[in-house]
């Protein structure tokens, strides 16, 4: 990527502790003098957040896989072009809670949308923009599902069966294995202090690699 800032995304199945680790990553980076912003997908701008509400709301009407896929990329186009890229161009680092790896995992692995269709939209919406680093918080599906269920009301995705999330986890792990230089797998089932230490270490490494 030609941008001055670094684009780092955090991925994983439900309840793996992404929010906690993104806050931890942002604090670590700020402590070493890196100017960063935290954002999320689907969402990140008022319009993209409105699309998020459409996507997450449980509804009686069956949602077509292509409708879901296009809404994910509609939100992403808005978010990427109005918020993420301008921030990177200003030299800020962008920490994003999910990005297109989630589409490959959820819509591709989970729903069964052919991966070539997703790749087509990825190229259309993003051109050659890809995250510089992906932090994959990995834990057995059941561990995360229990945490997600304890948070209360389940959204449209969280209501899916365990097998759906197993396919998602497998897709994430396959993508990480295919491109180990860009993906960093963190064992999210480890004690919180250990997970936080590993994420902080990664942030420091990403920064020192630039020096």
Enumerate binding residues for ligand TMP (CB under 6 A).
40-42, 72, 97-98, 102-103, 106-107, 157
The least CB distance from residue 91 to ligand TMP, in Å, is: 25
In the complex with ligand TMP, which residue's Cβ is closer, 40 or 167?
A: 40
How far apart CA 20 and CA 184 sit, in angstroms, is 17
The least CB distance from residue 102 to ligand TMP, in Å, is: 4
**Side-chain half-sphere CA neighbours of 100 within 13 A:** 26
In the complex with ligand TMP, which residue's Cβ is closer, 16 or 29?
A: 16
The least CB distance from residue 1 to ligand TMP, in Å, is: 19
Beta strands in the chain (DSSP E): 7-11, 36-40, 93-97, 133-138, 183-187
In the complex with ligand TMP, which residue's Cβ is closer, 5 or 15?
A: 15
Q: What's the N-to-C CA distance of the chain in angstroms? A: 17
- Rg (C-alpha) for the chain, rounded Å, is 16
**Residue entry with tokens 């990427």:** 80
In the complex with ligand TMP, which residue's Cβ is closer, 165 or 206?
A: 165
Helix axes 65-79, 115-126, angle to 10 degrees: 20
The least CB distance from residue 128 to ligand TMP, in Å, is: 19
How far apart CA 40 and CA 10 sit, in angstroms, is 9
C-beta separation of 11 from 144 below 8 A: no
The least CB distance from residue 110 to ligand TMP, in Å, is: 7
């Amino acid at each position: 990527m030609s941008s001055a800032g670094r684009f780092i995304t955090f991925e994983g199945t439900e309840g793996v502790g992404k929010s906690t680790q993104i806050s931890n990553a942002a604090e670590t980076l700020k402590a070493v003098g890196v100017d960063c912003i935290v954002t999320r997908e689907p969402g990140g701008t008022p319009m993209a957040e409105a699309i998020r509400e459409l996507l997450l709301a449980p509804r009686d009407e069956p949602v077509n896989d292509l409708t879901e896929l296009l809404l994910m990329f509609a939100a992403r186009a808005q978010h990427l072009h109005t918020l993420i890229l301008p921030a990177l161009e200003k030299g800020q680092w962008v920490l994003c809670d999910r990005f297109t790896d989630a589409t490959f995992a959820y819509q591709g692995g989970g729903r069964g949308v052919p991966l070539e269709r997703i790749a087509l939209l990825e190229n259309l919406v993003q051109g050659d923009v890809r995250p510089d680093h992906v932090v994959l918080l990995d834990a057995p599906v059941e561990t995360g599902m229990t945490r997600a269920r304890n948070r209360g009301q389940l959204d449209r995705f969280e209501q899916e069966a365990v097998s759906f999330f197993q396919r998602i986890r497998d897709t994430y792990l396959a993508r990480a294995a295919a491109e180990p230089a860009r993906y960093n797998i963190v064992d999210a089932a480890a004690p919180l202090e250990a997970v936080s230490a590993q994420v902080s270490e990664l942030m420091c490494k990403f920064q020192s690699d630039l020096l």
